Amino acid sequence: MVKANPISVLITCEHAANRVPKEYRHLFIGHEDTLNSHRGWDAGALQLARTLASRLDAPLLTGDYTRLLVDLNRSRGHSARFSEFTRHLHTEEREAISSIWWQPHWRDFQDHLHQLPDRILHIACHSFTPVFNGHRRKTDIGLLYDPTRPSEKAFCFRYGQALKRNFPALKIHMNQPYRGISNNIGQQYRKHFPDAKLMTFELEINQRLVDGPNWNGLCNRIVDVTSERIAGEHFETIL
């Protein structure tokens, strides 16, 4: 039997800020350019996440400090969770950083997955640098999902088609510039929640667009398309 299923939306933005807690600022003296670069934070992602959360009346979880302190989008034990600025710290200090700045985000995310009613659509908002390792990236907007999860794949396909219709001049790519199954917070929780309960994907924006003169309008239009796509989606569960 096929049953229409209501949807709850959860928005996250793991790399929303490039601030450093005062007790760790000494680690970044002379590295202000790095903090202000794509390595320190995802420019534009917080604006997109806030606008989406407001439009969809959805809860929003954000990172308040730079990913170079500890990366909220990497699981415990992942080699890239701590950067070159913090991985040399004693184990006890890294554990303290994890407890104070990493664990709360993951705990809040897990709590929302358990507490939100209905099926959950998690949208993680991120942005990426236009040039990486000397190569110019061709993607303007990327949707990162797990192609082995049927509902997630189907939703992202239809969402991608809607973005292409509304932004014909932009390059909308699936699982670019990263793979949707790479280590991230949504990917980790796919292990615990079936496709019938959780659909999770990352919405990636090229920072070339964020730095452009039309970003505010483009951000609002992306939110328009996203809201319309979710409202028009016939979410179903096979029972």
With a cut of 90, say whether residue 233 has pLDDT above it.
Answer: no
With a cut of 60, say whether residue 2 has pLDDT above it.
Answer: no
- pLDDT value for 236: 58
- Lookup: tokens for 7: 């949807």
CA distances 180 to 89, 191, 197, Å, are 31, 14, 18
| Cβ proximity of 64 and 122 under 8 Å | no
| Cβ proximity of 13 and 124 under 8 Å | yes
CA distances 128 to 46, 91, 106, 205, 235, Å, are 13, 30, 22, 6, 30
With a cut of 80, say whether residue 1 has pLDDT above it.
Answer: no
51-68 as b/e, with b when 16 or more CB fall inside 10 Å? bbbebbebbbbbbebbbb
- Our CA dihedral for 83, 85, 91, 94, rounded to 10 degrees, sits at -70
Q: How large a percentage of the chain has pLDDT more than 90?
A: 93
DSSP-derived letter for residue 100 is I
- pLDDT value for 6: 83
- pLDDT value for 5: 61
Q: Please give the mean pLDDT across all residues of the chain.
A: 95
Q: In this structure, how many other beta carbons lie within 10 angstroms of the beta carbon of residue 211?
A: 12
| Cβ proximity of 45 and 215 under 8 Å | no
How, if at all, do strands 236-238 and 198-206 pair? unpaired
Q: Which domains does the chain carry?
A: 2-238 (3.40.630.40)
Torsion angles phi and psi, residue 196, rounded to 5: -70, -15
- pLDDT value for 4: 53
32-69 residue pLDDT tens = 999 999 999 999 999 999 999 999 999 999 999 999 99
Q: How many CA atoms lie within 13 A of 80 on its CB side?
A: 8
